[in-house]
Structure 1
């Protein structure tokens, strides 16, 4: 069953789409039927920059287990990095 619930997060980073790199300013996360993955439902994440139009989009469709593994991998990578390294500050 689809939830029709979409969560949005403001992003500050970059993503690489079909036309190259673009500033990534938003992520949308929702559970729905996938367009491509061969599963009944997936956790779908769209990384976008709405100001640049539909071509500034990278989409992923993950199983629930894969989505949870990704969350854990991000937490582990951030915990292993020196404090402040991934804070988005200027390059050294």
Structure 2
């Protein structure tokens, strides 16, 4: 069942598309039918260079388990970073 609930966040970072790196400014996260992932539903993450440009920089379609493991790994890496390493400048 699709919830049509989407979290949209502003980002500061880059994404690689083929051989080219480009700035990403926005991410959308939602549960929906995947385009290519062989499942009925997936957690989808779309990265955009510009919120007003529908061209994705990168996209992920993840199983719920993989999405949860990715989120936990991100939080673990941030929690384990030495002081000052993750300061934004």
What RMSD in Å do the two structures reach over aligned CA positions? 1.8
Q: Is residue 22–residue 56 contact of structure 1 (8 Å, CA) maintained in 2?
A: no
Aligned to 2:36: 36
Q: CA deviation at 1:55?
A: 4.2
Q: Is the 8 A contact 2:43 2:64 kept in 1?
A: yes
Give the 3-state SS of the residue equivalent to 1:50 in structure 2. Answer: coil
Distance 1:41 1:79, change over 3 A: same
Residues 71, 38 of structure 1: CA spacing in aligned structure 2 closer, same or farther, 3 A cutoff?
same
Q: What is aligned with 2:24?
A: 24
**How many residue pairs are counted as aligned between the two chains?**
89
TM-score, normalised by the number of residues in structure 1: 0.86
How far apart are 1:88 and its partner, in Å?
Answer: 2.3
Distance 1:3 1:81 in 2: 35
Residue 86 of structure 1: CA displacement?
1.8
Within-5 A mapping of 1:1-92: 1-18=1-18, 20-50=20-50, 53-89=53-89
- Is the partner of 1:86 in helix, strand or coil? coil
The normalised TM-score by structure 2 is 0.89
Q: Secondary structure of the equivalent of 1:67?
A: helix
Q: Runs of 4 or more off by more than 2 Å in structure 1?
A: 51-56
5+ residue gaps, structure 1, are none
